[in-house]
Amino acid sequence: MNFFNNLIYFLTSKIKLWKNSKLIKKAIIGITSFLVVLFLTALITYLIRIYEYENSFGEAIAFFVNSVLIGNFMGSVTILIGSVVFGGYLVLGRSFSDSFLGMLKAMVGVIMLKIRAPTLINLARSVFSALSNLGTSVITLNPYFVLNDSATWLKDFNAGYEAWISYAMLLGFFVNILMVALRKFTNMHSIMLTGHVMFQQFAVVVPVVYFLIFYQKNVAINIDQIIAIILISSLILGLYWSVGTIATIKGADKITNNAGFAVGHQQMLGLSIAYGLGKFFGNVKDSAEVKKVSKKIKIFQDNIFTQSILILILFTIMILIIQFSAIPAEKKDLVDKTRFINSNSQINKEFSEWNVDAQFWVINIILGSIKIVTSILIIQTGIRMFVSELQQSFQGISEKLVPGAVMSVDAAAMYGFSINSVTYGFIPGTIAQYLAVGVLVGLSKASGGVIPIAIPLFITLFFNSGSIGLYANASGGYKAAIIIPALFGFFEVLMIAFGIFALRAHAGAINSSDSFPFRTGFLGMFDWNFFFGLSLLVASWTKELSIIIFAFVIPILLVLLSQIIDSNRQSKITFMQRLFKVKVNLLTK
């Protein structure tokens, strides 16, 4: 009863706050304007459909809902994100012009993402498809590949399906706010605000929930199932953000000398585990920060340099394989779709995106690799544009609803406090992950290409292993910063490969081998490679298992975990902490 009494008190107190706030006038004006526009749009649509097209009133309503609302508003990510920013700014008291400008920037950012996404997908997919003709399966570990892959896969069914990601993200954010508002009971104290990360994570969860639980080939999905997909996805990630961010606070306080923020990224649970394990691998007094790092090594911290080198090496190797490997006899008719160049030394039309700005195909491989990097950078810029506006709206709303909450930041914001440890984690983590790739190459060959080869790219390598090294160093010094990222990196790459293998086995079992998520890319950082990969490995075998894992097991485990973690913001010990004898740093009153 106390829980519900406090929930009621929280809601009523917020209502009173809004009643006394000057912002309520702008909120009312904004909502009223929206309703007026909606009414006029509906009226015009009804009149045209009834008198011009001789539709019945019911047919006119169906057209308005399906073609106008869903097809051109609720199903348009560009309009949806722009509207959320515009409405959020008005509610926060921004002027109409500032709100409109924020909306415009957000919409431009989304369109930038959409412009470059097909280029990135086509460059990678043509090579990966050719490799599959040779009996090899490759998947890149990069958050921007998975974002584009998932959006493309969902849009292939219906243009409006892509918007599920945005709806689930908005609802997940409010789940996060609710958990923090009830932090006295939930022990969840932090708000997730790294918007680009939030989008990437929903680009993983939404397609998986749809594919494993609700997808049937050539069968349309109904509105109840769509709502269920959004609810399950938002519950999983709303809880993950609430729990994952608080798991990083204790280490963040140590690294930043109590700067007072959490980390909101792709490997939050991994960071917490690395911080907890660090003391077993080294001495915190022997920190990486007292060591000297060669300037020659530091060049690999440059995003564009290292990303270009890695992608050039990776795609050169793959293109040489598809060009010179023997084609199976049963696939001789796919020569033009497999070979990169034809007998005239011209690039085959299947690889037309690689025909960049040169005559010689070798030069085009170099330019094509740079084109991939350029596409990623443009996508990053677009995401930053709309996420920056969305993030300001989210932060303002969260500060008004849950004052005193800990705000999360991008992992990179921590690097300035301990830059050497990032390098110490990045290099061994990279080596270990590519050792795992070598193991997967052998397993893929032995299995006839059934087991995919997961290949991490720069963003995964640097921000994943570097961040883990940062947290490991904070409790175990430079030795921990070397060993823990290497261990994590090796096993996480293997785990996600087996998870994707299970997902693809499910696709084959339901006769959908030609359509499934993550054909070209996956998120690629520790929590998602290891823990989500494990979830895929277990859940992909039956629909019943998928429902149990994603609708029940994961949410329940996250809630239980929140009761065990020392959030460094508690005033009393939880029952689970007492049960597991967790040493907790309590706040002094």
Dump pLDDT digits (tens) for 314-328. 899 989 998 988 887
What pLDDT digit, counting tens, does each position of 406-446 carry?
988 888 888 888 888 998 999 899 999 999 999 999 999 89
Segment of 65-69, 157-161, 243-247, 338-342 carrying the highest mean pLDDT: 243-247
Beta bridge partners of 521: 140
Whose CA is closest to 215, among 530, 537, 503?
503
What is the pLDDT at residue 497?
97
Beta-carbon contacts of residue 248 (< 8 Å; ≥ 6 apart) = 262, 263, 268, 271, 272, 408, 471
What is the pLDDT at residue 113?
80
SS3 per-residue string spanning 305-372 = HHHHHHHHHHHHHHHHHHHHCCCCHHHHHHHHHHCCECCCCCECHHHHHHCCCCCCHHHHHHHHHHHH
Average pLDDT of the chain is 88
Whose CA is closest to 74, among 218, 170, 199?
170
Of 126-130, 535-539, 544-548, minimum mean pLDDT range = 126-130
**Greater model confidence, 218 or 280:** 280
**Cα dihedral 455/332/447/519 (nearest 10):** 40
Q: What angle do CA 258, 399, 98 make, to 5 degrees?
A: 120
Q: How far apart are CA 428 and CA 190, in angstroms?
A: 31
Q: 272-276 long-range contacts, Cβ below 8 Å, gap at least 24?
A: 272/247, 272/248, 272/471, 272/565, 274/468, 274/469, 274/471, 274/472, 274/480, 274/484, 274/485, 274/488, 275/250, 275/251, 275/471, 275/472, 275/474, 275/475, 276/475
Specify the amino acid at residue 315.
Answer: F
What pLDDT digit, counting tens, does each position of 192-216 carry?
988 889 989 999 999 999 999 999 9
Question: What number is the average pLDDT over the span 539-566?
Answer: 97
- Rounded to the nearest angstrom, the gap between the alpha carbon of residue 488 and the centroid of all alpha carbons in its chain is 19
Q: Specify the DSSP element, H or E, that contains 233.
A: helix 223-256
What is the pLDDT at residue 303?
76
- Please say whether the dihedral angle defined by the alpha carbons of residues 450, 153, 554 and 222, taken in this order, is positive or negative: negative
Question: What number is the average pLDDT over the span 544-571?
Answer: 96
> Residue 74: which pLDDT band, with cuts at 50, 70 and 90?
low
What Cα–Cα distance (Å) separates residue 182 from each residue in 158, 175, 191, 402, 528? 38, 11, 12, 9, 27
What is the pLDDT at residue 66?
75
Rounded to two decimals, what is the model's pTM?
Answer: 0.85
Is 174:237 a contact under the CB 8 Å cutoff? no
What is the pLDDT at residue 474?
96
Beta bridge partners of 262: 408
3-state secondary structure of 139: strand
DSSP letter for 300, please. G
Is 452:501 a contact under the CB 8 Å cutoff? yes
What is the pLDDT at residue 114?
80
**Greater model confidence, 366 or 8:** 366
pLDDT > 70 fraction of the chain, expressed in percent and rounded: 94
What pLDDT digit, counting tens, does each position of 462-484 carry?
889 999 999 999 999 999 999 99
- The DSSP result for 200-225, as a single string, is HHHHHHHHHHIIIII--TT-PPPHHH
In degrees and rounded to multiples of 5, residue 347 shows phi and psi of -70, 130
Beta bridge partners of 190: 406
Tokens of 443: 């397993």
Radius of gyration for the chain, computed over Cα atoms and rounded to the nearest angstrom = 25
**Is the per-residue pLDDT at 129 higher than 70?**
yes
What is the pLDDT at residue 280?
97
What is the pLDDT at residue 343?
82
**Greater model confidence, 589 or 80:** 80
> Residue 245: which pLDDT band, with cuts at 50, 70 and 90?
very high
Question: What number is the average pLDDT over the span 86-102?
Answer: 84
What is the pLDDT at residue 269?
98
> Residue 377: which pLDDT band, with cuts at 50, 70 and 90?
confident
**Is the per-residue pLDDT at 4 higher than 60?**
no
Is 459:142 a contact under the CB 8 Å cutoff? yes
**Greater model confidence, 146 or 396:** 146
**Is the per-residue pLDDT at 23 higher than 60?**
no
**Is the per-residue pLDDT at 332 higher than 80?**
no
Question: What number is the average pLDDT over the span 141-165?
Answer: 87
Question: What number is the average pLDDT over the span 34-60?
Answer: 86
Specify the amino acid at residue 514.
Answer: D
What is the pLDDT at residue 212?
97
